[in-house]
Amino acid sequence: MPPTTILNAALPRPVRDDPLLAAVVGEALDETVRAGAGEILLADILPTRPPGPPVVSPDASPLHMAAVMERTGCPVVLVVDYTDEEPHLLGTVDATTLLQHFF
């Protein structure tokens, strides 16, 4: 888990929404955040259910797959066909394969 996730949980929402607010409020808010940070539980910041790998359609371009991987941080996408009532997994594409495609 990146440290920024923990920082995000510790910061008050107004400061997360507008970081310049932190420059205005001064050290009083710093002490409040410091006191509240000790109260954060791991259960408060972990996702309730880990996200599954991203899914793309069979007609997704390599660029689309790369963009999905970058956005989700997942190095694999599932290629799924939804033409029937049941989805059919056609395969996977990983980041190494895309790197070979582009380079």
Residues 23 and 16 sit within 8 Å (Cβ to Cβ) = no
Strand order in the sheet with 76-81: 55-56, 76-81, 88-94
Closest CA to 79 of 55, 48, 46: 55
pLDDT tens sequence for the chain (103 residues): 678 888 888 888 888 888 888 788 777 788 888 888 888 888 888 877 777 899 999 999 999 999 999 999 999 999 999 988 899 999 999 999 999 999 9
Instruction: Tokens 């009083």: give the residue.
Output: 28
- Given the DSSP bridges, would you call strands 88-94 and 55-56 parallel, antiparallel or unpaired? unpaired
Q: How far lies 62's CA from each of 3, 6, 10, 98, 103, in Å?
A: 31, 33, 38, 7, 12
